[in-house]
Amino acid sequence: MPSNTTAPPGKKTAKKKGRRARLILVVLVLALVAGIGFGGYWGVSTVRASFPQTTGEIRLDSLSADVEVKRDANGVPQIYADNETDLFRAQGYVQAQDRFYEMDVRRHVTAGRLSEMFGESQVDTDAFLRTLGWRRVAQQEYDKVLAPETKKYLQAYAEGVNAYLKDRAPEDISVEYAALALTNDYTIEPWTPVDSVAWLKAMAWDLRGNMQDEIDRSLMTSRLSASQIKQLYPEYPYALHQPILDGGAVDESTGQFDPAAKPGEADGATTGDTPGTGPGNSADGVSAQLGALSSMSEVLDSIPALLGPNGNGIGSNSWVVAGKYTTSGKPLLANDPHLAPQLPSLWYQMGLHCRSVSATCRYDVAGYTFSGMPGVIIGHNDKIAWGLTNLGADVTDLYLEKIGPDGYLVDGKVKPFTVREETIKVAGGASRTITVRSTEHGPLVSDRNTELEKVGQKAPVGNAAPDRGTGYGVALQWTALQPGKSMDAIFALDRAKDFPTFRVAAKDFEVPSQNLIYADTEGNIGYQSPGRIPQRTKGDGTLPAPGWDSSYRWKGYIPFAQLPYEYNPDRGYIVTANQAVLDQRTYPDLLTKDWGYGSRSQRINDLIESKTKDGGKISPDDMRTMQTDNRSEIATMLNPLLLKVDISDPAVREAQKLLEGWDYTQEPDSAAAAYFNAVWRNVLKLAFGNKLPKELRAEGDCIAVRPAETTGPVDEQNKLVRECGERDADSAQPDGGDRWYEVVRPLLKQEKSEWWVTPGNRIDQPTETRDQLLARAMKDARWELTAKLGKDVSTWSWGRLHQLTLKNQTLGTAGPGLVQQLLNRGPWNLGGGEAAVDATGWNAAGGYDVIWVPSMRMVVNVGDWDKSRWVNLTGASGHAFHAHYTDQTDTWAKGELYDWAYGKAAVDASTKDTLTLKP
């Protein structure tokens, strides 16, 4: 078994006293830094010491010529240089000025080194991240795969970061280091090119696709039948929600995707088995590993979700409208990625400009990037604009492995593990050593959890499975664990001039797999589906596969030439919002069986069609208005039934009246939206949540159930037991997303269903019909909101329930209360909601708080670039008390945008501060 060496713990009393003393010191330091005590002067001077210099001159030894940094009223920098390496050196310097602490934390995440900053509480997280090996793969990419030109840019960026760090004390870099200094002897290390590359692995992890669904389906087998599970994962509703492409197929004669082909022309159905009937059934011993997968889910919950809770909410909206339908006569392109709300925002706005664009200095690009990474991820240059949404391709598979002391079983033979040791340094404690074992499929993630070591001890398996012994291991195969060229793709996108060069760049955008939309100054619009997406010989990726059977190996990856794309479609617009790319039933390879279900995308399609019918035109402000559309699709289905339910309780009837005449919009001041969403949450809990196993229900959600191992009627020897949920609230089920819309849609037509049946309790009678359950949900919602918002329904509002609090991602989430007050901001009362276009997501199993948001918004006016508009969730600065810490948030919350200067004259007119970097 793997070695997990730990040092003996010290005395508990001493540890508690030491921890308490450290926390007190942290609070005092931050209080002084914030200037809230002891006269204030020292605090103000200390906090200002870490603020960036934005005017005057600074010398950078690595530069070859002067570089100008022009910042607007929001502190957004536009950088002007004479050559490419100076441009990226300056980008590294400027991002370090504003965001180095954020960059430093991120690189410790991607390297599995959080314990070096925050101590022993992060050891398990580091161990799991080391097992995945993000940093190792990034190093391999840099050493063996990336283009020499890309490596030159990465090196220049690192030089710029390190030029900023040189001769600066930690407390002069960021306030948080002043706090760390009192609890830790932490030393800031120089930035390296691999630190930048590794961030792409974190991005890929959070956008990895259906891994959580794979686990959840398996966990459901402890309580639900195969047919019930299938009902909870319905097929994509192609008839209701339009895929991204109207058609298209792979031409067998050329081996290339043909976007003009009509649906049904592809040869054969999608490879793979039907969910619930294929390799993942209990006959193959796949869905039986309940204890293992429960523990796996707990491990996943502990990994920092740098982009957001993985699952139905992670995604984005993007769409592009051709000039024939726009007021400008040129394409308009909109994008708003839905990610975790963070402080500072995940995104960093900037422009990168060669003063004279030529063959030796080719960049004139502006948009959004990540701090710690050179280039621009989403935005436009002088010829094209592009946006991203998550494709959701199934790029991860869990494999059950029959393991022993000498290796693992494949086709009846034992193969040796690939083994390496990792040492985890711990601030304030002894180092830990772990052993990482891998099979041909990938790392044994089960080694990182004691319960996972005992996989499948009780669950039944069929005769096809090998003897379990003490259990099966669980290995992870994931495309991002192979070295790739995604970093090359970022720079190629920034330089692309037309659709062919855009597609060349997209070819290298291997992980994470994204929907790429496109527009150019010639009036063309397009779409490309890139990514390294596996081809499976057997299995469909919906449940864990048997690693001991080589027929379940991946056989390769879908060739780029066969991936879907579209160019100037006749309909005149392209919408991507995590829905199906095309009709998967007519495509020869499996992209995924776990798409988003298309509520947002169909609403955007409908809004565009309604605006353009009868010759109407779409303006840039129309695009912005569409981004803030907050209509609830589930309300259109459920609300008419709620109004028909006979309610006798006057208090509940008073709440029911709020729904009369409601237009299904979810404005912050809407009492109807508050009550409806509370009813929806309680419908889900009664009909589905209370029937799910504890591993899927929210932590603290406790119900009375019969012990899972018992059978037959409940008697005196077999009483009900109290069982509490175990899942983190942000990822618990039922989450209320548009998958659940499709689960409920057919059931609403059925007065009787097994899902409407619920047990009674001391207060309520059992329910047996739809209307009985709806009445109970309305009653429960009434009293839930009474407790939260008060008895008077006229004072209720959706925004008071649905709040956004921006949290500093380290001390702002786990520090003492006063520290959180100093570093965090909010709350803001928001409209919008789950699966609305204005996707301020909340998890119905966990509560109403906002857990993902449109993390930025942009509307690009193609060709007339200076009339484009944008906004970030927070601000340019990561410094807690800087003027640009959250200066964009109020504008973002109101759904408004700022002018986005791009051309030299427009940038000069908007410039408030100019800094010259000199060699």
List of residues 6+ apart from 366 with CB closer than 8 A: 78, 350, 351, 352, 353, 376, 379, 380, 381, 900, 902
What does the alpha-carbon distance between residue 677 and residue 682 come to, in Å, rounded to a whole number?
Answer: 9
pLDDT in the model for residue 539? 87
DSSP 639-708: HHHHHHS----HHHHHHHGGGTT--S---TT-HHHHHHHHHHHHHHHHHTGGGS-TTTSBBT-EEEE--T
Q: What is the pLDDT of residue 302?
A: 61
What local confidence, expressed as pLDDT, does residue 296 receive? Answer: 62
Task: Please report the beta strands in 255-304, taking only residues with DSSP state E, as ranges in sequence order.
Answer: 256-258
Query: In degrees, to the nearest 5, what angle opens at C-alpha 18 toward C-alphas 16 and 21?
Result: 110
Distance from C-alpha of 876 to C-alpha of 884, rounded to nearest angstrom: 6
Contact 279, 287 (CB under 8 A): no
Helix ranges (H only) for 265-331 are 290-302
Q: What is the CA radius of gyration of the chain?
A: 27
User: What is the pLDDT, as a whole number, of residue 458?
Assistant: 35
In SS3 terms, 197-248 reads as HHHHHHHHHHCCCCHHHHHHHHHHCCCCCHHHHHHHCCCCCCCCCCCCCCCC
Hey, what amino acid is at 43? G
| Cβ atoms within 10 Å, residue 31 | 16
Spatial contact of 544 and 218, defined as CB atoms under 8 Å apart: yes
Residue among 713, 711, 688 at smallest CA distance from 701: 688
Residue 264's pLDDT is what?
58
Query: What local confidence, expressed as pLDDT, does residue 14 receive?
Result: 38
Question: How far from 302 is each of 154, 219, 785, 810, 917, CA to CA, in Å?
Answer: 30, 18, 31, 14, 42
E strand or H helix at 183: helix 175-183
Q: What is the C-alpha to C-alpha distance for residues 124 and 455, in angstroms, rounded to an integer?
A: 19
Helix (H, G, I), strand (E, B) or coil at 351: strand
Q: What is the 8-class DSSP label of residue 895?
A: T
Q: What are the 10-residue block averages of pLDDT along the chain, 919 residues in total?
A: 35 40 47 44 64 96 96 98 98 98 94 93 91 96 98 98 95 86 86 96 77 83 92 96 95 92 53 37 41 62 56 76 98 95 94 96 98 97 97 90 90 96 95 96 84 37 62 87 96 98 97 95 98 92 88 96 97 97 93 92 98 96 98 98 98 98 98 98 98 93 72 54 89 95 98 95 92 98 98 98 90 63 91 96 96 96 98 96 96 98 98 98
pLDDT recorded at residue 265: 44
Residue 429 CA to residue 184 CA, distance in Å, equals: 10
Query: For residue 2, what is the enclosing H or E element?
Result: none
The C-alpha atoms of residue 278 and residue 240 are separated, in whole angstroms, by 27
Q: How far apart are CA 775 and CA 682, in angstroms?
A: 10
State if pTM tops 0.95.
no
Q: List beta partners, residue 806.
A: 825
Contact (CB, 8 A) for 365 and 494: yes
Q: What are phi and psi of 270, to 5 degrees?
A: -60, 135
Integer Cα distance of 586 and 714 in angstroms: 49
pLDDT of residue 121: 87
Q: Which two tokens stand for residue 400?
A: 């059950």
3-state class (DSSP) for residue 702: strand
